[in-house]
Every structure is written in C-alpha cells, then in structure tokens.
Copies of this chain bind each other. A is one copy, B any other.
Amino acid sequence: MSVLGIFSRRPKKTAEAARERLQILLAHERAGLSGADFLPQLQRELIEVIRKYVSVDEDRVQVKLEREQHLSVLEVNIELPAPSERRN
C-alpha cells in the first residue's frame, strides 16, 4: 500500500477539508529492550524546523506518543494557516 493511502483514506469532516494540515508520523523501532527513546526531544526540534516554513500556532498542534516494547510512534498533527498567511 502506498503511503499516500495511509493519509488519503482518513475520513475528513467537511470543515476540515478546507484547511491545510501537516501530519508527521515518526516511528522508532528498537532492536533491544534498552535503547534510549529520543522521540520526545526530537519532537520539539521537529516543530522548530517546521516553524521555519510555516507559522505554527501552538493551539493547533496535537502531539501523541505511543509506545510498545520495541516500537515508539510519535504523531504530530499541525493545522496550518491559510496559504495567504504563509511565510514563503
């Protein structure tokens, strides 16, 4: 399945359809049980990098971190301003 399929099949409420959105999924598969989990730190820096391209409103950023034995997944959803407010 192409990765486009993961995102385009997501059900969208009509109001949502008109908005721009950036979704980041970051999965860290660890071989052993140890292995530091650097996703929480990485998350803050990722948002800082994105701020260079679009203005990011704190209230429109949703972050979810899920963790299993060998797998951590960070999900960041950012609702973007309309193109007219964009920086580039």
| Contacting pair B27 A23 (CB below 8 A) | yes
How far, in angstroms, from A21 to B17 measured CA to CA in the complex? 33
The A interface is mostly helix, strand or loop, or mixed, namely: mixed
**Contact status A22-B32, CB under 8 Å:** no
Contacts of A25 in B (CB 8 A): 3, 6-7, 23-26
From known contacts A24-B24, A24-B25, A49-B49, infer whether A36 and B88 are also in contact, taking CB-CB under 8 Å.
Answer: yes
Contact A66 B2 (CB under 8 A): yes
Interface residues, chain A, CB within 8 Å of chain B?
A: 2-4, 6-8, 17-32, 34-36, 38, 41-42, 45-46, 49-50, 52-54, 64, 66, 68, 71, 73, 75, 82-83, 86, 88
